[in-house]
Amino acid sequence: MRRSGFALPTVLVIMVAGLGLVTTAFFLANNLFSTTQSVVQQKKLYISAQSGISAAEAWLLANTTDKSFPDYDLAADLSASGVVSSKTIKGISVPFGNLVAVASGDQGVFRFEQQGTTVTTFIYRVDYPNVPSYTTGIPPRLGVLVYAMTADVTLEPTMPGSSGGVGSVGDAGKFRPPTYVIRSTAKRSGFALGEDRVMTVEEGIIGRE
């Protein structure tokens, strides 16, 4: 007497179908894990870049006195060609290096490590007098774009005057406080597949009389 049961081809079909479902589930789970990891890494990069912004804000506040703001280097070439030139500062190649703010001989360039991420931050003073032809990445002249108090940090000397490093006197003798762009880049090397991840965060700061 023949016993009832699944024929071998039917069993094989069911097994193959089952393996297909398992493979699909694994693929979906793997993609979900990769996506989650990517989101987490992007968040870490953002937090690290923001740490650079905070360090730059603290530097600006610490170097703003009752008489002056951080200024350009006295030897900086602020011609149209000089504005777009790179410089090596503190061993770091800095795009638009002549725009870097300086205070008490210290230049607004920072680099530090945070949770496996390298953070590089530049503080640019951006009320430069000569406007070059458009160059990718050039810090904008905020004073021309927006003359309002828009930054999270307000730099406010109590006695702005006409000495160097304070600000500029515009039309009809009106005091024009300086403007800055902080550019902070976080880079993490050797991500999941060996690639690098980079995120840049910028903040504009406008001084106040």
What is the average per-residue pLDDT within 181-208? 84
Residue 194 lies in a domain: yes
Residue 20 lies in a domain: no
Q: How far apart are CA 42 and CA 98, in angstroms?
A: 31
Report pLDDT digits (tens) over 58-67.
999 999 887 7
Q: Which residue has the tokens 């504005």?
A: 83
Q: How far apart are CA 157 and CA 149, in angstroms?
A: 15
Q: What's the structural domain count of the chain?
A: 1
Q: Give residue 30's identity as a one-letter amino acid code.
A: N
Per-residue pLDDT at 129 exceeds 90: no
Residue 3 lies in a domain: no
- Structural domain harbouring 126: 33-206
Residue 155 lies in a domain: yes
Per-residue pLDDT at 27 exceeds 90: no
Report pLDDT digits (tens) over 6-16.
455 554 555 55
Residue 22 lies in a domain: no
